[in-house]
A and B are shown apart, each in its own frame.
Chain A
Amino acid sequence: DTEVTQTPKHLVMGMTNKKSLKCEQHMGHRAMYWYKQKAKKPPELMFVYSYEKLSINESVPSRFSPECPNSSLLNLHLHALQPEDSALYLCASSQDRFSYGYTFGSGTRLTVV
């Protein structure tokens, strides 16, 4: 298995809803990442997990809450989002040692209404 799987592919949520995005990989990668991408902009890093521990948080608002339950799974919990949080959310993974290529999922297209 050489893929990063993200679910759901599309999500519409209200500003008072709580939802979660899921990312899964079975390549034995020990680093996992969340990126946010607005339309016509490059991906922006949100969080980095290394060996299931949060190693980088790029000053992301607390309404985004990451979780890494095990080495294969990465979640992003969403609560009280704003319409400006609508974006493509991308998950990626890489081997920890001498990893030259990140593998990205296809993303979750999130719309906040």
Chain B
Amino acid sequence: DAKTTQPTSMDCAEGRAANLPCNHSTISGNEYVYWYRQIHSQGPQYIIHGLKNNETNEMASLIITEDRKSSTLILPHATLRDTAVYYCIVSLAPGISSGSARQLTFGSGTQLTVLP
């Protein structure tokens, strides 16, 4: 699986958009970009994923550059409850061919602190 690079920490004012960058320059054509977050002392929570098109759901938007070497997770109106470590992960989708599970490998992530 491709390796990702994220800033160690970021701050964001409450109510403003939080833009979290991720570099994945060695991503291969069949690898997806996944975003998870982990609020203190809880299990990681799936946010969003994408292959090459931009994606949006009720939690966030994912912008993937045309060359797929980087992406940005956007939380449009950050709240204090969005304070967490955000992980960008690149991996194949599980179970595509043989039925065996693919694992997620977490990098160091970005500590996002939303300030009042």
Residues on A close to B: CB < 8 A? 4, 31, 33, 42-45, 48-51, 55-56, 88, 90, 92, 94-107, 109
Flag if B44 contacts A90 (CB, 8 Å).
Answer: yes
- State A21–B41 Cα separation when bound (angstroms): 17
Residues on B close to A: CB < 8 A? 32, 34, 36, 38, 41-46, 49, 85, 87, 93-96, 99-101, 103-109
Given the complex, which residues of A lie within 8 Å of B34, measured CB to CB?
Answer: 100-101
Given the complex, which residues of A lie within 8 Å of B103, measured CB to CB?
Answer: 33, 45, 48, 56
- State A97–B95 Cα separation when bound (angstroms): 5
Q: Which residue of A lies closest to B51 (CB)?
A: A100
Interface centre among B32, B38, B101, B107 (most CB of A within 10 A): B101
- State A88–B98 Cα separation when bound (angstroms): 31
Flag if A92 contacts B43 (CB, 8 Å).
Answer: yes
Q: Which residue of A lies closest to B107 (CB)?
A: A42
Determine how close the nearest CB of chain B comes to the CB of A90; give it in whole angstroms. Answer: 5
The 10 closest A-B pairs by CB, nearest first: A104-B43, A31-B101, A42-B106, A101-B46, A50-B101, A96-B95, A97-B95, A100-B49, A99-B94, A104-B44
Flag if B42 contacts A106 (CB, 8 Å).
Answer: yes
